Amino acid sequence: MTQIALGDAQQRLPELVDAVARGEEFVITLEGKPVAKVSAADADRPARRFGSARGKIILADDFNAPLADFADYM
């Protein structure tokens, strides 16, 4: 992943935005240490649907039953 100093990123912002739009990612550094990762925004994320996991999660009948391993603590 490409690293670029903060000062260079400020001067080349339009060029970097074009690169990100093409799918590239880069890290902005400050005093040689990475401080930010720049990547494209995910605009095609599907909308959340309430109840979309219905029927996919099943709890055992004894879910709330005490565990035998903890009998000494009860």
Report how many domains make up the chain.
1
pLDDT category of residue 43 using cuts at 50, 70 and 90: low
- What CATH number is associated with residue 27? 3.40.1620.10
* Residue among 19, 16, 44 nearest 28 (CA): 16
Assigned domain for 2 exists: yes
Average pLDDT, the chain: 89
> What is the domain extent for residue 32?
1-40
Per-residue pLDDT reduced to its tens digit, 60-74:
999 998 888 988 887
Assigned domain for 16 exists: yes
Can you tell me the mean pLDDT for 6-10?
A: 95
**What secondary structure does DSSP assign to 1-64, as a single string?**
-EEEEHHHHHHTHHHHHHHHHTT--EEEEETTEEEEEE----TTPPPP-TTTTTTT----TTTT
Assigned domain for 64 exists: no
* Residue among 28, 59, 25, 57 nearest 42 (CA): 25
Assigned domain for 45 exists: no
pLDDT at 9: 95
Overall pTM surpassing 0.75 (yes/no): no
